[in-house]
Chains A and B, each alone.
Chain A
């Protein structure tokens, strides 16, 4: 298990709280790890991640506490202002395979219909481009803010991005470890300007349906090796 530690801002909170978080996190991790192959154990272990993160960096992972940085995602996404989408899907594959495919962000456009490409720069940062004709495509930069192998991956758009969004994916073993359950939580800013209009058109009136279709594509691609098509144009 590895926790990617990002350079944090100075915290306004005292050391005591950091130590408390770190201690609780370690405790949860140990308890969780001791209950191997159990769902509760996995959940406990996963829940240790933000606490460990808080303990080490002095701040909460932005996605998890919902308080994002004031100059970007925070004002746009916090509270009731952000649009939240939650969907999950189960695959008949080992958790490692599922995690590895998703973690390589360049793979995302293979099953996310509205993404044209994602390029990773290697420092946890990535560049995202939506599909669409020249001038209509929207681009933004994102960074990974939480990464625990085979458990969780979270990211958010960088300050100054056209698209203000954040998301996390949790990976859990299911059916006694024979299957893997993947849960996505996406947040994005409500429509405003060109990027907002684009997000609205991407997600339509039922954003969860779009995410569900993308997850279905993901499952089909990994399980069956191809995304089913009935006709040339579909």
Chain B
């Protein structure tokens, strides 16, 4: 089959790789109908995430049709149309039972790697480095889905792929970011980063009862989308002093909750942002955390800073003193997908949201490599890329046998 493979920093190729096979009893094989590039894939593209290996199949936002199931998987049938969560969870360990699905104990075969770095391992992820399990991803014609009796969500035929695809990651991720803010009626929520997760965080904050949402970015098209689709007030951090503006907009109090939907590759115009840039480019630091620093500074006393943006290593100049002095709550982590997917599918079915509004580019899987660069550089007003294997009519047939 054809698959998008990581070959090194800023090196992506579409290659012919062996078709996936059932390896475990609860597995399923999915014929991918639509897949997407996630902002967090750009951290891989830019070489920020350790333990990637040449030839790794990328992609963790995908959906498709079930073509094969393992012998213990009685919940899925061949032909089912499903969206696959990007976190892999067993459904039976302490963490899954506690609804902390992205912290599953039993889905990362390379847990020892993550333990060395983080003390304990979170769940396995599709196409997101060997530290997270080394699972081949879904930017491919087929994908093997472990614990497929618990993860994939069946979707109704009445909804198109583009309407439900983002249930695989960014919609639940933006929603959990807002949910973590414990929004009360009347609250103001500020969102750093108007990429796809930021856009969904804005919408979700309103869905969960926020009175005002303020969106912060520097790209006009993203700010425009946040205003037109999300209904947010917008701040361009290249044009205004964000802290000053937020203070003014909230009567000197600060936003009740701040969401960092940027993560470890933050850009900024202040001194600390250039300091981060210099240090990471000389490999003296791992993460650039300008957005997070600003969110912590901006947040009102006793407020919540929610972090859906990905961080991977050790933060420099982290303003813990400010977080402590103001008694902030910090909430973060990979999304507990399995908890949110059914709730959000219902919201889509009720017409409360149509997640397809963020799509700016539709391509064939074969065109993925160039599109990684376009998306990273935000060229061509790129916000979200979806791709279809074989969209240009040259999908290869599955070659391997299905019995083993």
A residues near B (Cβ < 8 Å) are 90, 92, 179, 209, 212-213, 216, 219-220, 223-232, 234
Contacts and interface: CB of A to CB of B under 8 A. Distances in A.
A209 B116 CA distance: 11
Contact of A225 (B26, B105, B124): B26
Interface string B257-271: 000000000000000
Residue with the greatest number of chain A CB neighbours at <10 A, chosen from B92, B108, B134: B92
A34 to B, nearest CB: 29
A228 B146 contact: yes
A226 B27 CA distance: 10
A177 to B, nearest CB: 14
6 contacts: A92-B94, A213-B112, A225-B92, A228-B108, A231-B134, A234-B134
A223 B93 contact: yes
A223 B105 contact: yes
B26 A226 contact: yes
A225 B108 contact: no
A223 B109 contact: no
A229 B135 CA distance: 8
B106 A219 contact: yes
A-B complex: 3 closest residue pairs judged by Cβ atoms? A224-B90, A224-B106, A230-B134
Contacts of A219: 93, 105-106
Given A179-B94, A219-B105, A219-B106, A228 B134 contact: no
Contacts, number: 66
Contact of B24 (A90, A179, A213, A228): A228
Contact of A92 (B97, B109, B111, B146): B97
A185 B254 CA distance: 54
B112 A228 contact: no
A153 to B, nearest CB: 24
B125 to A, nearest CB: 11
Contacts of B124: 228, 230
B52 to A, nearest CB: 13
Given A92-B94, A92-B97, A224-B147, A234 B109 contact: yes
A216 B111 contact: yes
Contacts of B91: 224
B389 interface: no
A229 B93 contact: no
A70 B322 CA distance: 64
B273 to A, nearest CB: 37
A220 B24 contact: no
Nearest to A93: B92
